[in-house]
């Protein structure tokens, strides 16, 4: 590997330094020289930035006595590369205290026993530094061109890894959310899988961090595009052993890989409009040929199931221009598809202004319901997403349908996911899954057929009228009593009333409803009516709130 920097030990081989002697600080000969500076004044802070090779005759900096220690301390704090002193004119020898201090801080002290022209040294070293940087920039330009050429070839990512291996002589691999991992040489295949698992288990891997595998260290470099991390380039070299030039080479390789991924993703996004149309046709129940569905989803099989994952947008920025929305839409589709694939699903995505629908297919052996935790992981990641301008967990509601096998029932899965969102918005049950909303599955059917209010009036009408007329709370008493499974003691405790008061209220309730709460059939009917009442009440509040927002 070429060195990016010019070090003190490199300039000692120059002709102008052939008679120079290092008298102290030999442990710092690998210090980088960024520039040279002739310094004869004690006012060091005004002239030094750090990394300079100081040239001095010692006229203003007395290194021949301990008095020069405070000047030397300033040079150390400014992190200069080294000090060159011409002996004879102002200083005859270096004080032992100065030499000891330089040794303690690994600051190279170089002496000239004869008069030298500092202007010649300055010109020579500046020429070397500038030419070296120019050479490095030229090499970086060549690497960039090479990486760009390789990115246009088939299997460009692997070719780029081979080029990195040829330069660093170190194994290199690339892992992402995609199933396929790239690595070179071939014998590190197991390393690629291990690194992919390791990075996946870390929520936010820190860039340029080293991870140990057996006795080897891998430094990881993020591959980024559209503000999203698409994967990591991993080089089997410790971070501390990489210089600035090496980082620059790897950054250009990462950029070339990002361009490959962007082109691939752009090709995928060209299919998005077609995918969106097919998904919406499926969810609306329109007939589709099997060949059309197979363009976006795997073929039906006994061990293939799917759920509809629905994201409902509660707010939308009306100030978003059409071109901004189109860009946001593409980014949402890309990120969502990547997220579902990472969790093992085969997704078909449709992104709308107010709703995002994902048909998430997955092969399984049995107990498909056990995979609900994967959806929870996806929801949590969307809520905690760094893409704050694209996803905001507080502005979205999630609903997940039951498990389905036949694509012909996809319109039913859409209704189920919508029903789960309806129950969430009504704050009745905290669940994302349709199969967990219980009796509300039946109540929503009655609600949609406008039969729910009549049912509530049949079983709770007199009680509601009495509460409204007398400003009492018998409905609340009845609800708590039924939740306590008819336990009068527990009910009285929860209502903070004496048991005699509870008896009086229950007697009044049974009289108003003309029923015996001890009869199981009566109790079931009234419990259902109570759930229906709360569904109607919360739904009407949601609708009223939405109307106010629109106004």
- Give 356-399 pLDDT, tens digit per residue: 999 999 887 665 555 788 898 888 888 875 455 555 545 788 99
pLDDT at position 540 is 59
440: in domain: no
**Residue-wise pLDDT tens digits, 331-348:** 788 888 888 988 889 999
Specify if 442 maps to a domain: no
Question: What pLDDT does residue 365 have?
Answer: 61
CATH number, position 42: 3.40.1390.20
- Percent of the chain whose pLDDT exceeds 90: 8
| Nearest C-alpha neighbor of 24 from the set 99, 113, 112, 104 | 99
Two tokens at 275? 């995918």
When the pLDDT of each residue in the chain is averaged and rounded to a whole number, the result is 82
Judge whether 273 and 280 are in contact, CB under 8 Å: no
Helix axes 520-550, 410-425, angle to 10 degrees: 80
Same domain, 243 and 276: no
Same domain, 347 and 244: no
**Residue 248 sits in the same domain as residue 262:** yes
pLDDT, residue 414, reads: 93
Euclidean distance between CA atoms 501 and 404, whole angstroms: 51
CB 198 within 8 A of CB 211: yes
Do 76 and 21 lie in one domain? The reply is: yes
Say whether both 20 and 54 belong to one domain.
yes
How much is the pLDDT for 544? 43
* Least confident span in 200-214, 310-324, 506-520: 310-324
Sheet with 35-38, side-by-side order of all strands: 21-24, 109-112, 82-86, 52-56, 35-38
Is 139 inside any structural domain? no
The confidence band for 179, taking pLDDT boundaries of 50, 70 and 90, is: low
Residues with Cβ within 8 Å of 363's Cβ and at least 6 positions away in sequence, in order, are 298, 301, 303, 304
Query: CA 377 to CA 385: how far, in whole Å?
Result: 12
The verdict on 451 and 533 lying in the same domain is yes
- Residues 326, 327, 329: CA angle, nearest 5 degrees: 65
Q: Which residues contact 476 (CB under 8 A, 6 or more apart)?
A: 495
Predicted pLDDT of residue 211? 74
Gap between the Cα atoms of 362 and 344, Å rounded: 7
Rg of the chain's alpha carbons, rounded to an integer?
37
Compute the Cα dihedral for 441, 303, 335, 212 and give only its sign.
Answer: positive
CATH of the domain at 323: 3.30.70.270
**pLDDT higher than 80, residue 74:** yes
Same-domain check for residues 398 and 498: no
Q: What pTM was estimated for this model as a whole?
A: 0.50
Position with higher pLDDT, 496 vs 44: 496
Strongest mean pLDDT among 246-250, 354-358, 456-460: 354-358
Asked, for residue 145, whether it belongs to a domain, the answer is no
Choose among 195, 203, 196: nearest CA to 385.
203
pLDDT digits (tens, 9 = 90+) for 390-423: 555 457 889 999 999 888 889 999 999 998 988 8
Q: What is the pLDDT of residues 285-322, one digit of tens each?
A: 888 888 888 888 888 888 889 999 999 876 555 555 55
Please give the pLDDT value at position 528.
Answer: 84
Residue 1 located in a structural domain: no
Please report which confidence band the pLDDT of residue 4 belongs to, taking 50, 70 and 90 as the band edges: low
Return d(Cα 527, Cα 459) in angstroms, integer: 10
* Last residue within a domain, chosen from 384, 408, 434: 434
The gap between the terminal CA atoms of the chain, to the nearest Å, is 67
**Mean pLDDT over residues 180-205, rounded?**
79
Tell me the backbone φ, ψ of residue 519, rounded to 5 degrees. -75, 125
pLDDT of residue 413: 93
Segment 191-196 shows an average pLDDT of: 79
With tokens 């088939």, the residue in question is: 154
Burial grade of 355 (CB within 10 A; 0-12, 13-18, 19 or more)? middle
Same domain membership, residue 106 and residue 91? yes
pLDDT at 310: 94
- Is the distance from CB of 233 to CB of 253 less than 8 angstroms? yes
**Could you tell me the pLDDT band of residue 195, with boundaries at 50, 70 and 90?**
confident
The residue assigned the tokens 């009593």 is 481
Query: Do 46 and 170 sit in the same domain of this protein?
Result: no
Q: 3-class SS at 540? A: helix
Instruction: Identify the domain containing residue 164 by its residue range.
Output: 152-268
């Amino acid at each position: 590997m070429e060195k990016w920097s010019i070090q003190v030990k490199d300039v000692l081989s120059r002709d102008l330094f052939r008679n120079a002697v290092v008298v102290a600080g030999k442990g710092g000969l690998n210090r980088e020289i960024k520039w040279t500076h002739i310094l004869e004044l004690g006012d060091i802070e005004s002239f030094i930035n750090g990394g300079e090779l100081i040239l001095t005759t010692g006229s203003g900096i007395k290194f021949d006595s301990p008095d020069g220690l405070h000047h030397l301390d300033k040079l150390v704090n400014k992190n200069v590369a080294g000090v060159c002193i011409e002996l004879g004119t102002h200083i005859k020898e270096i004080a032992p205290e100065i030499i000891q201090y330089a040794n303690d801080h690994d600051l190279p002290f170089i002496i000239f026993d004869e008069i030298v022209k500092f202007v010649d040294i300055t010109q020579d070293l500046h020429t070397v530094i500038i030419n070296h940087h120019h050479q490095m920039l030229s090499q970086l330009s060549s690497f960039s061109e090479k990486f760009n050429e390789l990115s246009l070839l088939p299997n460009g990512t692997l070719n780029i890894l081979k080029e990195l291996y040829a330069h660093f002589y170190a194994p290199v691999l690339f892992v992402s959310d995609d199933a396929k991992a790239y690595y070179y040489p071939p014998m590190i295949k197991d390393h690629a899988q291990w690194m992919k698992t390791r990075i996946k288990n870390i929520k936010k891997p820190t860039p340029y961090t080293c991870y140990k595998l057996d006795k080897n260290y891998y430094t990881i470099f993020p591959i980024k595009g559209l503000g999203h991390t698409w994967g990591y380039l991993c080089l089997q070299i410790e971070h501390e052993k990489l210089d600035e030039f090496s980082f620059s080479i790897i950054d250009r390789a990462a950029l070339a890989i990002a361009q490959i991924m962007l082109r691939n993703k752009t090709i995928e996004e060209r299919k998005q409009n077609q995918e969106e149309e097919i998904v919406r046709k499926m969810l609306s129940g329109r007939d589709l040929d099997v060949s059309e569905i197979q363009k976006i989803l795997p073929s039906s099989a006994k061990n293939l199931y799917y759920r509809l994952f629905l994201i409902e947008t509660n707010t939308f920025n009306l100030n978003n221009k059409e071109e901004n929305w189109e860009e946001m839409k593409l980014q949402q589709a890309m990120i969502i598809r990547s997220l579902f694939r990472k969790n093992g699903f085969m997704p078909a995505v449709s992104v709308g202004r107010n709703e995002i629908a994902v048909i998430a297919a997955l092969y399984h052996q049995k107990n498909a319901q056990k995979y609900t935790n994967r959806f929870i992981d996806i929801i949590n990641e969307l809520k905690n997403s760094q893409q704050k301008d694209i996803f905001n967990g507080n502005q979205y509601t999630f609903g997940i349908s039951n498990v389905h096998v036949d694509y012909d029932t996809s319109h039913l899965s859409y209704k189920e996911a919508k029903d789960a969102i309806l129950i969430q918005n009504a704050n009745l049950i905290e669940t994302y899954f349709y199969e967990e909303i219980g009796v509300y599955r039946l109540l929503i059917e009655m609600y949609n057929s406008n039969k729910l209010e009549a049912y509530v009036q049949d079983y709770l009408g007199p009680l509601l009228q009495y509460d409204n007329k007398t400003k009492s709370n018998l409905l609340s008493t009845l609800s708590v009593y039924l939740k306590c499974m008819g336990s009068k003691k527990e009910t009285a405790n929860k209502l903070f009333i004496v048991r005699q008061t509870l008896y009086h209220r229950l007697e009044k309730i049974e009289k108003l409803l003309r029923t015996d709460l001890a009869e199981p059939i009566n109790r079931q009917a009234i419990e259902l009516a109570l759930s229906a009442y709360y569904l109607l009440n919360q739904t009407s509040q949601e609708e009223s709130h939405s109307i106010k927002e629109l106004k």
